[in-house]
Every structure is written in structure tokens, then in C-alpha cells.
Structure 1
């Protein structure tokens, strides 16, 4: 089991901003799994909560991955920034997929580069 968090690389966010967006995406998707895929969540939780952070070039690619995750029945989240610091309100910054079985997540994110 793993969770993959996908971040846009075109926004030039600070390291702290990226960390916050990754954390938002991770927590939201974990709760999605907790409520709707409890068996996956429990296995992921009990095995150390494996997370991998990867990047995409822009919003279109990020939204496409999110939609594919949802259509494949995977727990997923999409983060829209509140606009209080570095980005305009509503900017889509990150997506998390899982926790879910490795092979199911890898079908969507296996070809992406690490952040």
C-alpha cells in the first residue's frame, strides 16, 4: 500500500508552500480512504504510511491524474489553494492518490518523476 502525492512544478512555490500543499493533499486523501476504503487505510497505516511525492508540469496533467484516480475507484484528493500567501485563490496545486494497492496507484503515477 502507498500514497502518491503529485505536485505542479510550474508554479514555482517555495519549499514551505510545497510542503504545506503536499500535507493537505495527503491528509485529505487519507481520510477519504479511512471512510471509504478502510481495509486499504488500515494496511497502509500499520505498514508505515508509505508516501511518494512526484511532479507534473501543469494543471491539465494534474487534473487528468485526479480524474483517472476517481474513475478507477481510488481514494484521491485535489488541493485548491486558499490564496493567503503565494498563489491566487483557487489555484490547483497538488493531488494525492491512495492509500491504495501499489499496482493500482502505479498505473496512474508510475511514469512520473520524483519531485
Structure 2
């Protein structure tokens, strides 16, 4: 079995693929909480095409995830003002057929026990495709 090494990125100098992580600004999450929610979104979007076979997760290296996973895993973090804007980004990404994930926190440590949408990841996919959805959002 081939393994992904720490130097895999050296084989891809082009920055053609990326993932954008979108965080809700209105929640005023602690920094650690915000990072965790963005990480959940990133992982879910990247792994959602995988399938479990025995004790292994198999992820097809398709045109979206292959160059990203074997390249530099470029990620950009941006923010939206509220839940409506977060859901709009998620729905537009889904409609465009892009890999994406919406995270709903259970509310166990923040949000007073109320399940709350916190983050979305769009991609990995071609930069241009992701930018059509997230290109105007301000950096976090």
C-alpha cells in the first residue's frame, strides 16, 4: 500500500485546488471552538466521498480530492455574518455539485445546549469553482 508522505506536496507545485472553511462570526465562538468547528467541516467535506471497507476508509482520488490531498491541501478561512449567510453558502455549494459539509454543533460546551450551525467547508475542488461560491467572503 502506498502511503502519503510529508513530502508529497513537492510533486505538485501548482495551486489549482483548495478548500474554503466558512465560520459564523455572530456566534463569537472562543478561538479554540472556532478552530475545532472549522476542522470538523474540513474533514467531513474531504472524507465524505470515502467508504468503509472492513477497518479501512477508502477515498477515491477523483479530480477534486486527488490533486488537493496529494498536493498542498490549501485551505482558506473566511467568515459570514450569520446563519442565513452560512446556509446560503452551503446550499450554493451543494447546487454546484462541489464537495461540501455543514457542521451543526451539539451545544454541549457552548450555545446553552442548543444545536447550532457553526461552519461550512467548500471543496476541495478547483480554485475557480470554489471562488464562485466563496470568493467575495472576507478572510477570518
Length-normalised TM-score, structure 1: 0.94
| Residues in 2 aligned to 1:67 and 1:37: alpha-carbon distance in whole angstroms | 24
String of CA shifts for 1:37-79, please: whole Å, max 9, x gaps: 7221110011110000000000000001100000000000000
2:79 is the counterpart of 1:79: no
Larger radius of gyration: 2
Out of 83-92 and 53-62, give the one that drifted further: 83-92
2:40 is the counterpart of 1:24: yes
Out of 26-35 and 80-89, give the one that drifted further: 26-35
Aligned to 2:28, the other structure's residue is in SS state coil
By relative contact order (CA 8 Å, sep 6+), the higher-ranking structure is 1
| Structure whose residues are more often helix by fraction | 1
Superposed displacement of residue 33, structure 1: 4.8
Aligned to 2:79, the other structure's residue is in SS state strand
Corresponding residue of 1:66: 90
Aligned to 2:72, the other structure's residue is in SS state coil
Q: Paired residues, what number?
A: 115
Gaps of 5+ in 2: 1-16, 51-58
Corresponding residue of 2:124: 99
2:47 is the counterpart of 1:9: no
Corresponding residue of 1:38: 62
| Residues in 1 aligned to 2:79 and 2:64: alpha-carbon distance in whole angstroms | 24
Aligned to 1:42, the other structure's residue is in SS state helix
Length-normalised TM-score, structure 2: 0.78
RMSD: 1.4
